[in-house]
Amino acid sequence: MPVLLKVLLAPLLILAVSLAGRRWGPRTAGALVGLPLTSGPVVAFLAAEQGPRFAAGTAEGILLGVAGLSAFVAAYGVAALRHEWPIATAAGWAAYLVAAVVLGAVSLGLLERVLLVGGAVVLVGAMLPAAPARRRCAPPPRWDLPLRMAAATAMVLLVTGLAESLGPERSGLLSASPVYVTVVVAFTHHIEGDGAALAALRGLVVGMGGFALFFAVAAATLETWGTAASLATAACGTIAVQVLDRAARRKSAAPSCKVPAVGTEVER
């Protein structure tokens, strides 16, 4: 697979999602982060380079990574109410790493993984604290979008470059690590406060449901359906989850944050 395609695809997708999140708010940004915008291309690249069986094994590993990501979301959300983004980020990553080590040591079939991830997503949705009403609005730094795009590109190149030595399971776990999630949520926390960060995390929980559905379908069908049909079907399921969530909360959407002039900050 040409390196140029790897370098361009993920950051362009991330740019589009980041701009959409700015337009429609932190919860939408969190939900869109849950789309398989970096891990999906990773599986497609691996299917072309290592074969459908390897890619299917990676998709199964990514499912376990979603369970680890659930630990990150829960720990970050609890810490965010009392601490700023550096401590909340450290708490989230500590929880993720512990979960990844434990999950990497167990042997589970595909159905068991799906049940585990489904339970983890439901549990973290119930555990997340309610987002406080307070919110501050400030212009994002100029390096925000370039850093998001760089993080996405680095993840795709790292996972595909190390895939053969790591094997499918560990490649999947690495692909699902909360690198981009950290960038989005921590930046939101720093710029708009804990209320916006928790709204982003709640959106991410919805996104994680669609994310898990994508890789469950991919793991089950890549070897029999082929890469194009498998990933297209998986993408349709993920999009359906996003559309249903968007429709369910259209009437109760929070007011958007109108960014003030540079150098000012508004509490709301």
3-state secondary structure 154-173: HHHHHHHHHHHHHCHHHHHH
In angstroms, how far is CA 56 from the centroid of its own chain? 19
136 beta partners: 267
Instruction: Return the DSSP state at 81.
Output: T
The CA distance from 18 to 200, in Å, is: 12
pTM equals: 0.77
- Provide the token pair at 60: 């199964």
- SS3 label, residue 136: strand
Average pLDDT over residues 72-95: 93
Of 189, 17, 173, 21, the closest CA to residue 89 belongs to: 189
Q: How confident is the model at residue 166 (pLDDT cuts 50, 70, 90)?
A: confident
Task: Decide which of 251 and 49 is more confident.
Answer: 49
Show Cβ contacts of residue 138 under 8 Å, excluding neighbours closer than 6 positions.
Answer: 191, 192, 259, 260, 264, 265, 266
181-238 per-position pLDDT tens digit? 887 888 888 888 888 889 889 888 888 888 889 999 999 999 999 999 999 999 898 8
Q: pLDDT tens digits for 113-151?
A: 999 999 999 999 888 887 665 556 666 677 778 877 887
E-assigned strands of the chain?
136-137, 266-267
Task: Report whether 92 contacts 112 (CB < 8 A).
Answer: no
Contact partners, residue 124, CB within 8 Å, separation at least 6: 70, 71, 73, 74, 205
Rounded Cα distance, 215 and 40, in Å: 8
